[in-house]
Every structure is written in structure tokens, then in C-alpha cells.
Homo-oligomer: A and B are copies of this chain.
Amino acid sequence: MNGAKVFTLELSVRDYECDLQGIVNNAVYLNYFEHTRHQFLKCLGIDFSVLHEEGTDPVVRRIEIDYMRSLRSGESFISSLSITKKGRLQYVFTQELKTVPDNAIAAKAKSGVVFVSQGRPIPPPTALAEAVDRWQCS
């Protein structure tokens, strides 16, 4: 994430997130990634559930995840993201989970998010786009 502004959040594994292998199930990482994006939006003053009530839904269009080191019961990690625009319609979040305190990369992801209203893709809402721009330049 060289040069890009980074938002971070500290999280911990909860035991119910581990599966019978004793490691966090692969699907749960997407919960971590989504929760981090939503907390980022919240920090910009944008509320995911209010967006939905207003008729605009951010939806994941594509996600790529590299699982580097399995997270386990009791572990804490820093979830970070940076954001770039891709074309007119998509934001791409570059996301990473790094264990605390040893700073090992547990997983990396690229998450492409588009906005949908009444079943059709629309450009990001203006208030959100402006808040993202302001955040990146601050």
C-alpha cells in the first residue's frame, strides 16, 4: 500500500469464527473485510444502512483474496484498507490483515465495489465520492 492513504481497524478473532480445523473459516475473512470497509465509510460520515434506506446499495462486484497465514483463536490483527477509483463506476479497496504484535500478513484482498439503485449500476453517490476525495487529500 505504498503512497496511498490507509484506514486501519484493530480486530480480534472470535472463537465461533473458527471451524473444525481450528482456524478462522475462509468465508469469515470477507466479514472482516466488509466490516472494515463499512467502518471506513462510517468514519467518512457515510452510513451503509442509511444508503440502503435511500435506495443505493454498494455491492461487491469482485474480490480476490490471498490467504497467507491462518488466523486462530485468540489472535488480534490490524485490518487496513486503501481505496482507488476504477473507471467511472467502481471503487477498488486494497485490504490487508496483519497479526498483532508479530506483524505477519494473514491475508490480502482486492475488493471491487459498485453501486446499485433499482437494479442498475450507478456512479458512486456524490456525497460519498466527495468524502473519499477529501479523505485521500487530507
Query: A residues engaging B (CB < 8 A)?
Result: 14-16, 18-23, 25-31, 34-35, 38, 42, 47-49, 52, 57, 59-67, 70, 72-74
Residues of B within 8 A of A15 (CB): 19-20, 34-35, 38, 48-49
Interchain CB contact (< 8 A) of A49 among B20, B27, B30, B67: B20
Determine whether the beta carbon of A65 is less than 8 Å from that of B66: no
Determine whether the beta carbon of A65 is less than 8 Å from that of B67: no
Interchain CB contact (< 8 A) of A34 among B27, B48, B66: B27
**Interface majority SS (helix, strand, loop, mixed), chain A:** mixed
What separation, in Å, do the CA atoms of A12 and B23 have in the docked complex?
Answer: 22
What is the distance, in angstroms, from A74's C-beta to the closest C-beta of chain B?
6
Interchain CB contact (< 8 A) of A59 among B21, B34, B57, B73: B21
Most buried by B among A19, A29, A48: A19
What is the distance, in angstroms, from A78's C-beta to the closest C-beta of chain B?
17
- Chain A to chain B: the 8 pairs with minimum beta-carbon distance, closest first: A27-B30, A49-B73, A18-B20, A26-B60, A64-B64, A20-B22, A27-B27, A14-B35
